[in-house]
Each structure stands twice: as C-alpha cells, then as structure tokens.
C-alpha cells in the first residue's frame, strides 16, 4: 500500500515560515555555524576531535530545499574549522535533487560510514542511503548505488550506533521509530526492519500515538541506552526534544522527559555526545540573521546528566559551551577556523582545504580564546585578491576593543594567487578573543588561507622555503612533543599521548596505544604550506618496547585525496630492534600533484603493540635530518 506523508512531515511542509519569528541578530557564539544555514547536527568524536556533520538549507528557502551535507571540526567546542561540502544529493544516482535531509556518520575499522536521508527520484518515498570514506572529512561515495532501507515515506533521519559487543544498530523514522541490525560491513542489513512500540509510556504523551516525531539519536551511557528525539506534545507550535531510556537497544523504552522546549523554529533535531569529560546537546534553530523554519542553524549547549542518568531540560544559550582549550596563535590557524563571523563564506582553496572568501567591507571573524602568552609582535596571513585588496584590522576582545594592528592586503592577481603579508602588532599578550575586521572598497576584497602571529622580528615561523640546513633548526615542521602533542592525533581509533617513559631527544615523546590493527597509528595533517607537487625531506623516529622481539616493520606513510580517491604512499620504512630507536627518513619525497587533505602517519605492518614517536621533522628537499641510528632502513 502506498504510504502517505507522515503527519509530522506533512505538518512541517505545511507550516508557513513566517509563523515563527527568529530573534533579532545578536553577536553571540550560537549558532555555531554562520557561513551557511546548517541543519540536523550529527556530532562524532573521533580521536581528539569532534567532527560536526550538518545538512544545509538553501538560502531564502520556502521549503526544505537541502542540497548537500557539510563537515566541521573542533578540539575546543568554540572554534570550528570548516571542511566544506563533503557529500551531496547528486552523489547518489537514485537521489532526488535537494532532498539531502538528516544524516549521521560513524567510524568502524578505519572507515567512515555516512547514513543519509534522500528522496528516491523514481518514487516510493524517502530512503536511507549509506556512503563510505577513508577519512572523517571524505571524500564519501555511495556504497550501494541504491537505498539501504526504503524507499518509504516514513524512512527518514538515520541514527547509528555500535554497541560494546560490536553489534551495529540503525534506527530511523517519522512518526514511528524503526530499528534494524547492521552486519559488520556496515552496509548490509542483518535481519528485518522492526519498529518500537510507540505509546505515551515509551515515547511520551501526545494526542497522536506518542510524542516521538522524528530525528532519533541513539546512544549508550554506562549500561543505559538513550533515544533522544524531536517531539510533539500538543499545541506547542513546533518541535520539542524529548528522550526515553531502555536497558537494551530494543527496549523496553521508558519515556523520561523533555530535553528542550519549542524554540524559534518549527523543527528541531538532536545530537548528543560526551567529549573530554563534558556532555553536549547539538540542535538547530532559526537564530542566524535571515533565518527561519527553512533556513535553520546548528547550535550547541553543554549540560550535566543527573545522578540517575536523567537529561535536564536545556535552554538554548547565546554563548554556547565553555571553550575547552585556548588557540595557539603562534601556530598556523586556518582562515576558515571560526567562532563567529558576519558576512563571510568559505570555498575550496588551491592549497588544499578551504579558504575564507566573499569578504566585503565591514565583515568580520571572531576566533575565541587565543593565548598570546607573553606577547606577539608580528601578524602574517596568506591572502589572495583578484581586486584591490583591503585591510585586516585586528582587535582584542570585541570589535570595539583594543586595536593591535592593521595589515594591508594588496592585489595578488587572482582569488587563488596566494601571497604572505605581514604587519607589526602591539599590545597582544595573555588570552583574548580575537576579532579580524575586514575593510576596503566595494565588492569582494580578498581571501584568507591561514594566519599566524610571531613573537619577534625574525618571524613568521610560516616561512615556506627554508634553506636546507641540516640540523640547524630551519624546519618546516618540527614536533618534539616536549610541550604537548604538537597537533598529532590517534589514527583510526588509536590513542596518542605525550609520554615521559621514552624519548630520543629531550625528555618526552608521543606514545601511540589502543591499537588493534596495523593501520591504527599516530597521524598529523599537513598544513597548506606543504604544496602538492613539491618534494620535501621527511624524518620521524620510532621505538617499541613491549610484545615479542620479532622484527616489527614500521612505516612512515602519507595519506592524501586525489581525483576523488584516498591514496597511501610509503615515505620510508624501518625494522627497529625492540627497545631501540630507529629513524624513518626520506630526504626527497614528493607530495603528489593535486593531492589534497594530506596526512603523514606512522603505522606498523602487523600487530597491535603500542609504540613511541619522537622528533618528526620536515625540511626542504635534500636536507639530511639527523635521527636515530639502527633498524633496517628502506626508502619509500
Ligand atoms: O531537515 C529536514 C528534516 O527536518 C529532518 O530530516 C528532520 O529531522 C527535520 O529536522
């Protein structure tokens, strides 16, 4: 039997956007994304980082016109780095134009599975599709060429979870919540699609079967399973959020209460995570200027569970969550790393990643919680301008706060013709919110790839072509792990932590643990100054001191995206003796032309032993970088 549009979806489509009036513009840190209208947040903690996956409402929409899905990442919960559009309705041969509704991504065995809602273009309703990638930021590809579930008008809003016993569960649906097991490959159903018993005791009171509407978010905390969902309780003008808990994934569910009251937008959609000891609710509202029921924006607020596992009723805040760690301005920061912005957009950058674009006179970007320590004296930015450029005015704490400098940006001949510009700054020390205000003539002024501060006249540390000078210290990258992880992360679920147990030089190194597969190692994303098509000298040092003394082959590998595929090339390999440091080095290794999203990482050819990494350095091609001796050395 042909299914009708569900009551909630029908109601959502019928409600005029004007019924709910968004609040006046405020300079706050919610909504978290300002460069697009973002929807249906799906956060994922992977390694040290929170990845935020969102849908997108087309500008000035009068309905749910949703062209694509986007990804952002943060390690501090205030500043989000934009990874751009990572998947679109037309990546699915069966998808109808602009029907890219809610989605969620999960990692399993080093691969990333993105479950999405799309309307089937040849009829029958919506369906759940699945796309797969080798990195959290894509590129994602339709894994099946057809819906995994559906088509069926009730099949929307997938949520996915892998239980402690390894069983993966997929749940979805409006206005009934369906569930099905997934096989280990994550793209095959394991059994029949069933649905929960929907009533007021299981999913809350309503004049309908239950208050459950759509947008389920399924997870486990301790021994308790949670389903947080978009809810209708009655004549309350829009969706609330509610939640139920259960002792098993299949129930029996007990309705526990309201998580958020209707706000300023007809729909809402939850995403819940724990990260670095804090709990966060992601949701969407209509609070960006020009926003409304069909131009929504993702927001984030922190909350605390009750001792009985209860979720409080959370009020949307203007400030968002507390920042977890400060930004180091002496490292390169991407232009598209933003706490709050006005007017600007992002676009693909020829140096890899994105850049900040569409900058006009009076636009600005706020970066929250920047720690200048004892002071900064120079500012450098990589910029491009096809017009006459303009100025970057730099303020502390607010747009009317202390002005610490103005950097003049010249014409460079093209929107992707990059040039470093520098200016002196004064009065920046300690921790501040940083405001970049862009000024100039009419039209678009310039683009920003990255920026950094220096602490003396010799800066910037962003020099892109150091002289090859052996161990003199002129490195493009030098990670000694003496004062932190230097931006390294666990790869594919492995953990990394600074360790004092072993070191090649200094007193610390990076320990990589929690490995169950050879490709789980320690990884670092190369910044945009490392140019595709150019060669560099690479060196890393490794040591293991546990497990069997059988020879272990270590690989220093480069991962990159090229022509829509993720590729892996060995830079160097070595077999150290147990307990002895060994160098993995290659004095001239070329980053392939066209490579994007370039990572370096250390892995082993087998086994799951923890290992240590120290003194990872990159210099100009031809530089001989000193390192440990030992092991059987194999160039990549
Ligand atoms: O964004 C389109 C739809 O609106 C989602 O799939 C629902 O959860 C609601 O947010």
Give me the sheet containing 403-409, strands edge to edge: 340-342, 364-371, 431-439, 390-396, 403-409
**Is the predicted pLDDT of residue 458 greater than 80, yes or no?**
no
**Is the predicted pLDDT of residue 24 greater than 80, yes or no?**
no
> What is the predicted pLDDT for the residue at 627?
87
Q: Phi, psi at residue 135, to the nearest 5°?
A: -135, 155
**Is the predicted pLDDT of residue 147 greater than 60, yes or no?**
yes
**Is the predicted pLDDT of residue 89 greater than 60, yes or no?**
yes
Quote the mean pLDDT of the chain.
90
- Ligand 1 centroid from CA 459, angstroms: 48
> What is the predicted pLDDT for the residue at 61?
94
- pLDDT tens digits for range 37-51: 999 999 999 998 999
- Ligand 1 centroid from CA 460, angstroms: 46
Peptide bond connecting 311 to the previous residue in cis, omega within 30 degrees of 0: no
**Is the predicted pLDDT of residue 370 greater than 70, yes or no?**
yes
Mutational pocket test of ligand 1: of 156, 171, 265, 284, the residue with most ligand atoms within 8 Å of the beta carbon:
156
> What is the predicted pLDDT for the residue at 631?
54
> What is the predicted pLDDT for the residue at 468?
31
- Ligand 1 centroid from CA 148, angstroms: 19
Q: Please list, in sequence order, all residues whose beta carbon lies within 8 angstroms of the beta carbon of residue 254, skipping any fewer than 6 positions away.
A: 201, 202, 244, 245, 246
- Domains of the chain in sequence order: 7-61+101-110+152-303 (2.115.10.20), 333-454 (2.60.120.260), 477-620 (2.60.120.260)
User: Looking at residues 277-283, what average pLDDT do you find?
Assistant: 98
- Ligand 1 centroid from CA 174, angstroms: 10
Residues at CB less than 6 angstroms from ligand 1? 39-40, 55, 64, 66, 101-102, 117, 156-157, 214-215, 230, 267, 269
User: Looking at residues 249-266, what average pLDDT do you find?
Assistant: 96
Residue nearest to atom 8 of ligand 1 (CA): 215
User: Looking at residues 612-634, what average pLDDT do you find?
Assistant: 81
Please tell me the distance from the alpha carbon of residue 19 to that of residue 37, in angstroms, as a whole number.
Answer: 19
Q: For the ranges 4-18, 191-205, 220-234, 518-532, which has the lowest average pLDDT?
A: 4-18
- pLDDT tens digits for range 514-547: 998 888 999 999 987 888 888 889 999 999 888 7
CA neighbor of 154 nearest in space, from 228, 98, 209: 209
- pLDDT tens digits for range 102-116: 999 999 999 999 999
**Is the predicted pLDDT of residue 25 greater than 50, yes or no?**
no
Which is higher by pLDDT, 623 or 51?
A: 51
Buried-state track 527-555, b at ≥16 Cβ within 10 A, e below 16: bbbbbbeeebbbbbbbbbeeeeeeebbbb
> What is the predicted pLDDT for the residue at 464?
33
User: Looking at residues 171-178, what average pLDDT do you find?
Assistant: 98
Within 13 Å of residue 252, how many CA atoms lie on the same side as its CB?
5
**Is the predicted pLDDT of residue 233 greater than 80, yes or no?**
yes
Residue where the block lists tokens 């303009």 = 390
Percent of the chain at pLDDT > 90 equals 75
**Is the predicted pLDDT of residue 7 greater than 70, yes or no?**
no
**Is the predicted pLDDT of residue 586 greater than 80, yes or no?**
yes
- Ligand 1 centroid from CA 267, angstroms: 7
Mutational pocket test of ligand 1: of 11, 15, 68, 101, the residue with most ligand atoms within 8 Å of the beta carbon:
101
Residue nearest to atom 2 of ligand 1 (CA): 101
- Ligand 1 centroid from CA 239, angstroms: 11
Within 13 Å of residue 86, how many CA atoms lie on the same side as its CB?
33
**Is the predicted pLDDT of residue 304 greater than 50, yes or no?**
yes
User: Looking at residues 63-78, what average pLDDT do you find?
Assistant: 97
> What is the predicted pLDDT for the residue at 499?
92
Q: Specify the ligand 1 atom closest to the Cα of 157.
A: 6
> What is the predicted pLDDT for the residue at 296?
98
- pLDDT tens digits for range 116-138: 999 999 999 999 999 999 999 99
Collapsing DSSP to helix, strand or coil, 605 comes out as coil
> What is the predicted pLDDT for the residue at 633?
58
pLDDT tier for residue 204 given thresholds of 50, 70 and 90: very high
- Ligand 1 centroid from CA 115, angstroms: 14
Q: Residue 516 has which token pair?
A: 């169950």
pLDDT tier for residue 584 given thresholds of 50, 70 and 90: very high
Please tell me the distance from the alpha carbon of residue 265 to that of residue 19, in angstroms, as a whole number.
Answer: 9
Please tell me the distance from the alpha carbon of residue 160 to that of residue 151, in angstroms, as a whole number.
Answer: 18
> What is the predicted pLDDT for the residue at 45?
96
User: Looking at residues 181-186, what average pLDDT do you find?
Assistant: 98
**Is the predicted pLDDT of residue 1 greater than 60, yes or no?**
no
Which is higher by pLDDT, 245 or 27?
A: 245
């Amino acid at each position: 039997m042909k299914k009708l549009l569900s009551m909630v979806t029908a109601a959502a489509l019928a409600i005029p956007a004007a019924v709910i009036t968004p609040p006046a513009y405020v300079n706050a840190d919610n909504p978290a994304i300002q460069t697009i209208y973002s929807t249906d947040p799906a956060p994922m903690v992977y390694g040290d980082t929170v990845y935020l996956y969102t849908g997108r409402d087309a500008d000035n929409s009068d309905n749910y016109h949703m062209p694509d899905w986007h990804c952002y990442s943060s390690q501090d919960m205030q500043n989000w780095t934009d990874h751009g559009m990572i998947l679109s309705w037309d990546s699915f041969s069966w998808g109808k134009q602009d029907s890219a509704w809610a989605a969620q991504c999960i990692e399993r065995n080093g691969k990333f599975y993105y479950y999405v809602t799309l309307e089937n273009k040849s009829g029958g309703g919506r369906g759940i599709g699945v796309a797969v990638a080798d990195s959290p930021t894509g590129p994602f590809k339709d894994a099946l060429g057809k819906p995994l579930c559906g088509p069926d008008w009730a099949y929307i809003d997938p949520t996915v979870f892998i239980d402690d016993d390894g069983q993966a569960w997929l749940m979805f649906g409006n206005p009934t919540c369906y569930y099905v097991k997934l096989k280990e490959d994550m793209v095959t159903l394991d059994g029949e699609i069933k649905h929960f018993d929907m009533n007021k005791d299981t999913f809350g009171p309503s004049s309908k079967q239950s208050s459950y509407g759509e947008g389920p978010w399924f997870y486990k905390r301790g021994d308790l399973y949670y389903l947080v969902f978009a809810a209708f309780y009655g004549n309350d003008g829009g969706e609330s959020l509610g939640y139920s808990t259960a002792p098993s994934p299949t129930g029996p569910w007990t309705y526990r209460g309201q998580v958020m009251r209707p706000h300023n937008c007809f729909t809402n959609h939850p995403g819940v995570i724990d990260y670095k000891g804090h709990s966060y609710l992601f949701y969407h509202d209509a609070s960006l200027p020009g926003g409304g029921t069909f131009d929504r924006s993702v927001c984030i607020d922190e909350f605390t569970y009750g001792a009985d596992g209860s979720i409080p009723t959370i009020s949307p805040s203007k400030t968002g969550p507390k920042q977890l760690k400060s930004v180091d301005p002496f490292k390169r920061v991407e232009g598209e790393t933003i706490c709050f912005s006005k007017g600007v957009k992002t676009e693909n950058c020829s140096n890899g990643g994105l850049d900040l674009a569409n900058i006009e006179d009076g636009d600005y970007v706020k970066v929250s919680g920047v720690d200048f320590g004892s002071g900064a004296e120079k500012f450098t930015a990589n910029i491009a301008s096809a017009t006459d450029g303009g100025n970057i005015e730099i303020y502390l704490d607010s747009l009317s706060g202390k002005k610490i400098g103005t950097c003049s940006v010249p014409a460079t001949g093209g929107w992707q013709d990059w040039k470093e510009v520098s200016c002196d700054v004064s009065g920046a020390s300690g921790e501040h919110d940083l405001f970049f205000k862009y000024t100039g003539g009419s039209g678009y002024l310039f683009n920003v790839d990255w920026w950094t501060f220096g602490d003396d006249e010799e800066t910037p540390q962003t020099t892109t072509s150091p002289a090859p000078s052996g161990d003199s210290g002129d490195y493009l990258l030098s990670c000694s792990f003496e004062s932190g992880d230097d931006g390294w992360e666990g790869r594919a679920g492995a953990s990394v932590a600074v360790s004092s147990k072993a070191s090649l030089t200094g007193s610390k190194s990076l320990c990589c643990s929690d490995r169950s597969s050879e490709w789980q190692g320690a990884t670092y994303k190369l910044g945009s100054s490392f140019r595709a098509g150019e060669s560099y000298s690479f060196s890393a040092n490794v040591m293991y001191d546990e497990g069997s003394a059988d020879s272990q082959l270590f690989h220093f590998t480069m991962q990159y995206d090229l022509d829509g595929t993720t590729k892996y090339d060995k830079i160097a390999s070595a077999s150290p003796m147990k307990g002895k440091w060994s160098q993995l080095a290659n004095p001239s290794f070329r980053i392939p032309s066209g490579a994007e999203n370039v990572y370096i990482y250390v892995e082993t050819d087998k086994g799951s032993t923890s290992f240590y990494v120290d003194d990872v350095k990159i210099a100009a091609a031809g530089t001989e970088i000193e390192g440990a001796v030992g092991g059987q050395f194999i160039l990549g």
